[in-house]
Amino acid sequence: MTPIRILGATLTYIGDETPIFSELNVEFSAATWTAILGPSGCGKSTLLRYLAGILSEKVDFRASVFTPNLTELSGQVAYMAQQDLLLPWLSVIDNVCLASRLNGKKVDDVTRQKALLLLEQVGLAKKAAARPAELSGGQRQRVALARTLMQDKPVVLMDEPFSALDAVTRHKLQQLAATLLKDKTVLLITHDPQEALRLGEQILVMNGAPARLHSIIPPKQAIPRCIDGEFAKIQQSILEHLAKTHTESTSGGLK
């Protein structure tokens, strides 16, 4: 598997004058979890949505190097959006099997069994026949996570996948995702430094306008990490870094 390498990239929403990021350089290592932190509105979701191939009509994107290119990449990607994007007219299990349905494949017994197992692992086996509207926000997020884990793609893009969960469920599902996505190239956006440190083998903080990426050296433990002294120290330094960029991005009044 190749890394995702982007050099000198500028992205501007069509109709806007100011780019969201310009001259951005980043390499997402293959078979590695990269956690991306940064203040709200700095462009994290935009970057992920572009890599997922769903912004190509809406933005002007230029880069001196972008490998693999978007066409090659989008076939290899499972994407979990910041909003759960479940289809309201499908049952929970049919939402989890959505990728198979969209590929025109018949949802066979093996696929349904795999989906049921994932629903059990995210604690929602009993809700398999329910419609998304009958679920809480956190439950819907768990269905969206199961749908993402179901797809078995080499690249997995997740935008704040655990944000609506209580602390215990979040901890369990971080563990589950780390196990099931062990050999994948994962880009995880999170607003939580502790989550970034628990799961990130590469940790990047995005900030500024246009956005830049700043790299944080993670603890040496394998993921999912437990909190120890080194972890706590780095968590503190990430918080300080975020606080500094937060002050810079809100100077002149809170946005």
Q: Give contact residues for ligand ADP (rule: CB under 6 A).
A: 13, 16, 20, 38, 40-46, 58
Q: How far is the CB of 55 from ligand ADP (least distance, A)?
A: 8
Residue 49 or 127 with smaller CB distance to ligand ADP:
49
Residue 14 or 133 with smaller CB distance to ligand ADP:
14
Using the 8-state DSSP alphabet, how is residue 174 labeled? H
CA dist 254 and 84 (Å) reads 28
Q: What is the residue-wise DSSP string for 16-58?
A: -SS-SEEEEEEEE-TT-EEEEE--TTSSHHHHHHHHTTSSTTT
Q: How far is the CB of 20 from ligand ADP (least distance, A)?
A: 5
Q: How far is the CB of 230 from Mg ion (least distance, A)?
A: 29
34 is a site residue for Mg ion (CB under 5 A): no
45 is a site residue for Mg ion (CB under 5 A): yes
Residue nearest to Mg ion (CB): 45
Query: How many Cβ atoms from other residues are within 10 Å of residue 62's Cβ?
Result: 12
Binding segment for Mg ion among 80-88, 117-125, 202-210, 225-233 (CB under 5 A)?
A: 80-88
Helices (H) and strands (E) in the chain, counts: 9, 10
Q: How far is the CB of 209 from Mg ion (least distance, A)?
A: 15
- What does 76 interact with, of ligand ADP, Mg ion, none (CB < 5 to 8 A by kind)? none
Q: Which of 107, 1, 39 is nearest to 254 (CA)?
A: 39
Residue 31 or 209 with smaller CB distance to ligand ADP:
209
Torsion 29-34-38-41 (CA) sign: positive
Binding mask 213-242 for Mg ion (x = CB under 5 A): ------------------------------
Residue 174 or 190 with smaller CB distance to ligand ADP:
190
- What does 41 interact with, of Mg ion, ligand ADP, none (CB < 5 to 8 A by kind)? ligand ADP
Binding segment for Mg ion among 9-17, 75-83, 201-209, 216-224 (CB under 5 A)?
A: 75-83
107 burial type by CB count under 10 A (0-12 exposed, 13-18 middle, 19+ buried): middle
- Angle at 23 (CA atoms; ends 43, 197), nearest 5 degrees: 50
Q: How far is the CB of 251 from ligand ADP (least distance, A)?
A: 16
Largest CA distance in the chain: 58
Helix, strand, coil: what percent of the chain each, to 5? 40, 20, 40
Residue 150 or 205 with smaller CB distance to ligand ADP:
205
N- to C-terminal Cα separation, the chain: 40
Binding site for Mg ion (CB under 5 A): 45, 82
